[in-house]
Structures are given as structure tokens and as C-alpha cells.
Amino acid sequence: MFFVNVFGIVAICTAINTAWGSSFCPSLPTMKCSCPSGWQLWQKACYRLTESKANWENSKSACQEIGGKMAAPRSLKEMNFMAELAKKKVNNYYVWIACNDIEVEGNWTCDVLGDGDPFMGWQPGQPDNVYDQDCAGIAARHNDKMDDDECIKNYEAVCVRHAVCSPRSTQLRHFCFSSDYPSRFLNATCLFDHVIREFTTEGVTACGSACIKEPGCRSFNIKKSEGRKLCQLNNSTRLDDKDKFQNTSYFCMYLEECIG
């Protein structure tokens, strides 16, 4: 059974089918990302090593010459990915990353891709600045963690660039019922005061499709009134306006786009 639980919201496609006799079960809007040839995709970025060993400055330039920049990890996971990438080439690797304390001794700065903060994953005991080590790398002999070394040493470097990403399909959107934890869906709770359009509907499929087409639609209510089903498209979600997510004395169910 398809089952996703996000912030107390549960998606159960089989339940939708039972409740409405519909086959409304589109999948998540997934991003498709791609990298130029020779680059490895990880999350939304592309990675590769420089072709040859060079000192830190020249390695930095080498990354730029191939359309990227020297990489600095933003998380342990990203650093682990970089280590794996380096290991594919040589087991006992040492690769430069974009961190240094050239300007002020002990004051490490990293140049990461995008807005993220750098992840400073030093091997215990590092940085030790032996013989004035002002440039950082990650290395097999440092348990895939960071070390400082002399900037004049020649190593390959990890380069990074943004991947080109686009939604697989704008039609594939996925709505989730509101529910009590763990899975009892709420059929008398809706979001109030955010309706941008309201109309009689066949059911979840039609209402969900209308929400997808309506600019600004972020969730919808299905309300039973005098034997009809009313579709109400909302310009907000229950997380954005918790106070307006209220119980009703009639059948009313709420769906919003699932996250994750």
C-alpha cells in the first residue's frame, strides 16, 4: 500500500480509491537533474576530480577551467560522497577542497557552492599547521576527514558545479489527506477563509486536477453539501494558517500537496 506520512498528513491512495471510486494517485513531483559528461551527479550538484595533480591555487583554477569551482563540503554526507568519488580513482587518495587559512592563520574559510554553510569535518588532531599548512584536503589516511596541508603540494581536487534540474512532469502532483496520527483520515476538518474558487465536483480527481491548473492553489477542501460535492481551492495550507484548519459539523476533507 502506498503510504506517506508528513507532518501528520497521510497519503493513502487505496483509501482515496475506496472513498471516491477514483484512481487519483499521481506520484510526487520529482526533479530530474543531469550533469555534463564526466561529472557525477549527487543531489542537485555535479562533481568530478581535476585531471592532474597540482598545488591548491592551480587546482582551484583547473576546476574553473572545466566549468566548475573547487568544492567544499556542506555536510558530512556530501563529504562522504566526495571521498567515495576520490576513492574510485585511487584508494589512498588525497584531494584538495576549497578551504584555507591563508589570510589569517587558524581562521578557516571555505568557498561552498550556493548559499550553504561549510561543514568542517576535521580529522581529530587537525588542523595542525605543521610547516605552515594553510590549505585543506580530505584524505584516505585521515579517515576520509579533513586535514590541512602545505598549499604548494600537488594533489587532485574535487570540483563542483550546479546540475541542471527540471521537474519530471508538472502533471505529476501528489495530494495527501489530512489525518490523525497514524492513519485515520479526518473527514470533518477543512481549511477556512482561503478559498479562491469553489465549484461542484465529481470528486478528488477532478478537484485535484483543478488545483494543479489553478495558479496559487496550494490545497483543497472537498465538502459535501446537500448531496453535492463541492471543491474549494485554497491559496494556503493548514501549516501556514493553523487557526483556520477547523472542525466542521458536516463532511469535509482537506488535501494538500505532499512534501517529501
Q: Footprint of Ca ion on this chain (CB under 5 A)? A: 101, 126, 128-129, 133-134, 147-148
CA–CA dist 208, 219 (Å, integer): 9
Q: Smaller CB distance to Ca ion: residue 73 or 127?
A: 127
Cβ distance to Ca ion smaller for residue 53 or 153: 153
Choice between 50 and 126, CB closer to Ca ion: 126
Nearer to Ca ion by C-beta: 126 or 237?
126
The least CB distance from residue 82 to Ca ion, in Å, is 18
- The DSSP string of the chain is --EEEETTEEEEHHHHHHHHS---------EEEE--TT-EEETTEEEEE-SS-B-HHHHHHHHHHTT-EE---SSHHHHHHHHHHHHHH-TT-EEEEEEE-SSSTT--EE--STTPPP---BPTT----TTS--EEEEEGGGTTEEEEE-TTS-BEEEEEEEPEEEES-TT---EEEEEETTTEE-SBEEE-S-EEEEEE-SSHHHHHHHHHHSTT--EEEEEEETTEEEEEEESS-TTT-GGGEEE-SS-EEEEEE---
Minimum Å gap between C-beta 142 and Ca ion is 8
Decide whether 100 or 219 has the Cβ nearer to Ca ion: 100
Q: Give min distance, CB of 128 to Ca ion, in A.
A: 5
The residue among 77 and 141 lying less far from Ca ion, judged by its C-beta, is 141
**Shortest distance, CB of residue 111 to Ca ion, whole angstroms?**
16
Least distance (Å) from Ca ion to the CB of residue 102? 8
Q: Taking the complex as a whole, how short is the minimal distance between the CB of residue 133 and Ca ion, in angstroms?
A: 5
